Amino acid sequence: MKNALIIGASGGIGSALQTAYSKNNIFGVIDTLTRSKDSFDIRDEKSVTRALENQDYLYDVVIIATGGVEINNNGPEKTIKKLSANNMIEQFSLNAVGPALILKHIHKLIPKSQSSHVIILSARVGSISDNRLGGWISYRTAKAALNQIVRTSAIEIKRTHPKACLLAVHPGTVDTNMTKNYTSHAKVSAEKAANNIINLTKNFDANDSGNFFDWAGKIIPW
């Protein structure tokens, strides 16, 4: 039996992943961490350390399904002229620093000698090469930083956990509360997004670690 840890399980994608894994007979343990249930705050280093040091299992799959587009009702800037230092810091705290704090402990959460997958939800707008429209500068740069965090972490974890696969994943625009204000974007259901993520863990291994993929398994340029 396998073990899974879903961080951010109260969100649309995280919740759908929990449901999907619960229906999968190969998973004996499905642990979750959420702010609402566990007082887990990804932006608070003490909170992250306390939660991750108290886990009882090693996990075959760890999903970091955290992040947000709008923080404190502040949406993405359409132009750099609208940049706010405080908003930008909040974006980095939630979308880059938070996942980095989790990855700081990942070596203690996954097996050394067995294959494992660590999926970190990113976003296509974090791709520097793919940026042709501008705008959304705080969110874009926070996700670009997250991609570098994943890349660097994958290189380091491979030295001690050679069968681990760390992936930054763009799940698509998913129909959740986070995207309710973005009606012009084509969306997929949270259930479909969860199944896509599960398929990625089946199709990729340690040889793919440290890369950035979309929901369909196509590589996204940095």
Is residue 147 in a domain? yes
Contact yes or no for 16/190 (Cβ under 8 A): yes
Average of per-residue pLDDT across 1-15: 94
Is residue 83 in a domain? yes
- Here the CATH number for the domain that contains residue 42 is 3.40.50.720
Residue 182 pLDDT more than 80? no
pLDDT tens-place string over residues 30-61:
999 999 889 999 999 999 999 999 888 999 99
CA–CA distances in Å: residue 209 to residues 69, 79, 115:
26, 34, 11
Is residue 161 in a domain? yes
Contact yes or no for 69/17 (Cβ under 8 A): no
Residue 136, Cβ density class (10 Å: 0-12 exposed, 13-18 middle, ≥19 buried): buried
Q: What is the mean pLDDT of the chain?
A: 93
Provide the residue range defining the domain that includes 57.
Answer: 2-214
Q: Read off the pTM.
A: 0.93
Residue 159, Cβ density class (10 Å: 0-12 exposed, 13-18 middle, ≥19 buried): exposed
Please give the biggest Cα pair distance in the chain: 53
Is residue 220 in a domain? no
The total of structural domains in the chain comes to 1
